[in-house]
Structure 1
């Protein structure tokens, strides 16, 4: 089952490369992508899929396609094109860092280090956070963090490993600690976002941007936390991060619907038309795979997490994958972007496609993706 799913997925990547040369996918409604320029936060996922396809298949066409975008990503970071946000890690861990990991390219390494420096510049020392959105003096977002940022921290940890400059490690560690303290609730659920007062540095309030309401748990945010804290533990060996990841994983698993693929928020009233978010389940599968790899063989949570991985991935392959749609541009149906904002509540999400492929290939081959060596 896994092999067939992977081969269908990478064929779709190959078809997209051929049909949309030198273009990158953007989210749009209508069960398709809009293909355009490198000016959003999501383009790295597509390049990451090319690298996964190459590592799995060893077909040079995937490698050549991925490498062809490096100059584009280099130009973007040099000119600071649409980079006033924290998602620099999503963009460059899966493009430049991935290329360096696979090929040893020194040019890719240099681009990734420049990106890490750009992300470093978003750290706000008074609050001990990496600002999520906007410029430093942004009146609405000057003190805002969001849980998604945990998956951007590996770029900083990698930069520390490459350069020995402690500043990268220190701000990533500080931000992970702040996220743990203020974004994760006592029961293992999570806020999407938390706001600090930039003038006083005082913690102000938790809330949501894309979840159902401020006190609810947005499922994709929960998935970022599961995977993000597991990765933070891998880099820092701070055992509290591992425990937080496990706690968030249990919260997620205990609230799964019958088919093991989540709705867009754990607290939204369920109706026949309530949107799912298959991308959240794909991210969580990767996070659980990471946890299983980190836990002791005798840890009883391993069995729980391994069963959840199989249940969710089997459901994604059999009920949500586009294996029955030959010309599909996306890999997973029924993912949601911003339901509250009525933006693509039931469509393809390129990050869902990436994490679905990462999970499949990790299950089948042991290749772990590009978040760490």
Structure 2
């Protein structure tokens, strides 16, 4: 390394190595994903005695098990769009037409979800991870119609008196009021996209208002986030911030902070409003400062059981993908800072510590879904795999200096 490069690296934060990108083979990791995709398809085919049931989506593999637990497509199964999305990403990398056919079949099974009334905010995950990627890669107008219809359905959950989308209509009583969770930031993307692609222009305004209200009430002064914010159902007055899946109301739940980093990076992309760019850097830097040395977070940063608490690979995948995009919007110094942090995460996720390899057909191990409920602890979870392959593809585009539209 020459003196100029050495000095450049020394200006970065101490917790990001200036050689973070060295010796990471992104194509090797993507080829591994392709291998695991074929293993999963073979497993699903065997489960159906030679015929795949395209209404059953892989969801998780518990720590002690070795095959996917699949769930039937319905509007209550929020993870149904991730497996079709993985197939579209794999097709994008491999150009394998057989994978494309499987992606089309699994995606088609979700059409009925777009025709139902809104059950909760997860309609964005269900439709945009599947149909969003499908349209991006094929420009099939039928896919576009389904996305636009789903965006209009999701909009029915927006309440003007609050200024956010109601996340869980079924939990208003349990939580003591109108609730908006951090995960909802991820589901704004379908609204922005629809508003810019012949959908109703007010969807853009709804998404911006939600982002602003969440920015105001869902973060503490140190830029850590609440998982749940509760508002008065009638007046929209802020009542309290808390958690549902984290350790405590005052803790930083890893995946919630990850949703925030990804969500506000996307909001900046769609609005080009610098207040979001400035804000998301504070949220991201707070997360990065508190990471363990291997850059894979514990499921909650405040769990007193650390270092014996479970990790959450899914949060690492979401943040790695977000940081790679964020690195394309910031100053040169911060660009290197965020990219190197993301590569460090992907290197660890791609190691024997986290890849499933021969043991399971999933991509990754050691994610935590809902620890307080005793659900999906130290498991392989489908959304971890989705954001892992997405992050790898984003890194590949950056390395190759090709930057297609995100959607």
Residue 25, structure 1, aligned to residue 25, structure 2: no
- Greater displacement, 152-161 / 89-98: 89-98
Residue 234, structure 1, aligned to residue 269, structure 2: yes
Is the Cα contact below 8 Å between 1:93 and 1:371 reproduced in 2?
A: no
Selected match of 2:219 from 169, 184, 198: 184
TM-score, with structure 1 as normaliser: 0.93
TM-score, with structure 2 as normaliser: 0.86
Structure-2 residue corresponding to 1:312: 345
For residues 250-276 of structure 1, the C-alpha deviation after alignment (integer angstroms, 9 at most, x for no partner) is 011111112111100111113453100
Distance 2:91 2:375 in 1: 32
Structure-2 residue corresponding to 1:127: 162
In structure 2, relative to structure 1, the CA distance for the partners of 1:370 and 1:160 (3 Å cut) is farther
Distance 1:319 1:191 in 2: 33
Distance 1:19 1:319 in 2: 22
Structure-2 residue corresponding to 1:278: 313
> How far 1:14 moved relative to its partner?
2.0
Structure-2 residue corresponding to 1:15: 39
Selected match of 2:281 from 233, 246, 253: 246
Distance 2:81 2:248 in 1: 29
Is the Cα contact below 8 Å between 1:322 and 1:331 reproduced in 2?
A: yes
Distance 2:103 2:96 in 1: 12
Selected match of 2:121 from 86, 92, 99: 86
> How far 1:302 moved relative to its partner?
1.9
Selected match of 2:174 from 140, 161, 168: 140
In structure 2, relative to structure 1, the CA distance for the partners of 1:105 and 1:259 (3 Å cut) is same
- Aligned positions, number: 367
Corresponding residue SS for 2:371: coil
Structure-1 residue corresponding to 2:95: 58
Distance 1:139 1:265 in 2: 26
Structure-2 residue corresponding to 1:153: 188
Distance 1:370 1:52 in 2: 14
Is the Cα contact below 8 Å between 1:97 and 1:370 reproduced in 2?
A: no
Q: Give structure 1 stretches of 5+ with no counterpart.
A: none
Is the Cα contact below 8 Å between 2:226 and 2:242 reproduced in 1?
A: yes
For residues 34-88 of structure 1, the C-alpha deviation after alignment (integer angstroms, 9 at most, x for no partner) is 12311210111111110110010000111111111333211222244xx511011
Is the Cα contact below 8 Å between 1:154 and 1:372 reproduced in 2?
A: no
Selected match of 1:347 from 354, 366, 379: 379
- Larger Rg, first or second structure (1 or 2): 2
Is the Cα contact below 8 Å between 1:84 and 1:134 reproduced in 2?
A: yes
Distance 1:236 1:332 in 2: 33
For residues 236-294 of structure 1, the C-alpha deviation after alignment (integer angstroms, 9 at most, x for no partner) is 11211111211111011111112111100111113453100011011100111011011
Is the Cα contact below 8 Å between 1:154 and 1:371 reproduced in 2?
A: no
Is the Cα contact below 8 Å between 2:81 and 2:130 reproduced in 1?
A: yes
Corresponding residue SS for 1:27: strand
Residue 45, structure 1, aligned to residue 79, structure 2: no
Structure-1 residue corresponding to 2:26: 2
> How far 1:332 moved relative to its partner?
1.1
Is the Cα contact below 8 Å between 1:255 and 1:266 reproduced in 2?
A: yes
Distance 2:403 2:318 in 1: 12
Structure-2 residue corresponding to 1:221: 256
Structure-2 residue corresponding to 1:208: 243
Corresponding residue SS for 1:313: helix
In structure 2, relative to structure 1, the CA distance for the partners of 1:328 and 1:370 (3 Å cut) is farther
Corresponding residue SS for 2:169: coil
